[in-house]
Amino acid sequence: MDDMDLPMPDVEIESVSPDELKDRIDAGEDVTLLDTRMESEYNEWKIDGETVESINIPYFEFLDDEIDGDVLARIPDDREITVLCAKGGSSEYVAGTLKERGYDVDHLEDGMNGWARIYERVEVERYGGAGTLYQYQRPSSGCLGYLVVDGDEAAVIDPLRAFADRYLEDVDDLGADLQYAIDTHIHADHISGVRSLDAEGVEGVIPEAAVNRGVTYADEMTLAADGDEFEAGDATIETVYTPGHTSGMTSYLIEDSLLATGDGLFVESVARPDLEEGDEGAEDAARQLYETLQERVLTLPDDTLIGGAHFSDSAEPADDGTYTAPIGQLEAEMDALTMDEDEFVELILSDMPPRPANYEDIISTNLGQQEADDEEAFELELGPNNCAASQESLAGD
């Protein structure tokens, strides 16, 4: 049954916007969510938090006039409940049926699709280079990007297509022009915004090492090779080739202060090595990742900040609210970074999570081998990113 076919109860239901819900969670308020999506969707991707209680009861359990008593018994009646679904229709229906029975309820406006449109810009306070550095955060999928602004020039690293207009608006508000839109690699979890921004007059940059994967638009882009530098005002962005997650994986060292590592190293984990060549090529990629981490990343000064392209539910933000951490801290906290090569490879191959949803179509779209309009692109990337190895097995005690 489609959302539009649901017989809406004759009661007024208040809605809460995704931003309002996020603010409540960030403030540490106790939040109780009733997620009415199918169990498989819920298990793959849901709203979490230390003060969030989440209950999953699919909407079809509420379609009968006499709702099963066991269903109602699972829903607390002593607090406010926020009902949510995929797009906001069935949650409004369920909230109405519960309000008719005396529950204190509202529903999440636009559902998980609305949650996926939250995109926040947070200043990296420990950044020590020229200008100002910001981290973009998409809580629904854990995607991260970076914006460096100095004077009247700016550059963005790992932009998302869904928010291409947002970067231009933000940079304009900051009194600058966006000079570069830079990708770290061919992403498998979201649609890149580099080509969209390039079409708006921003210089698009992709790793030279990624072209051989079948990029169809390389002639239209600036290719970044190891050691190349890009300038945004007085801020220098140095290209650092860091293969492992993919053969073309490339990091960018911003003012010797923060290494934007893409999917090579995160604040809570390291990359998974199987998204390019599958299980057959995973071991070789894992050994390449080990070499990269030991020889190209961990050799940087201990106070160099690491900023990945993602964060997971197990990641802890720094005091400034960003998912960044000094290399020295990560080396002290993450067992995987101090293992020998064979131990490292065995560990990260032993417990990899499911691959990102629609990752093959996303990769093909990012290579330019297939097309997707804005709505199709947005739908493709809904869900968790799953680009890291298992966090539970990699962290220290």
Q: Are 234 and 355 in contact (CB under 8 A)?
A: no
Reading the block at residue 183, the tokens are: 């990708």
Closest listed residue to residue 262, CA positions, set 288, 244, 279: 244
Angstrom distances, CA of residue 284 to CA of 60, 208, 247, 278, 353: 47, 21, 10, 11, 19
Helices (H) and strands (E) in the chain, counts: 13, 18
DSSP 8-state code for residue 211 = G
Burial class (CB in 10 A: 0-12, 13-18, 19+), 27: exposed
> d(Cα 119, Cα 378) in Å, to the nearest integer?
14
Three-class secondary structure of residue 43 per DSSP: helix
Contact assessment for residue 348 and residue 223, using Cβ atoms and an 8 Å cutoff? no
- CA atoms 360, 361, 367, 369: torsion sign: positive
Catalytic residue from among 57, 84, 85, 285: 85
Residue 192's contacts (CB-CB under 8 Å, 6 or more residues apart) are 158, 159, 160, 161, 183, 366
* C-alpha 128 chain-centroid distance: 25
d(CA 140, CA 116): 5
**143 labelled catalytic:** no
Active site residues: 85
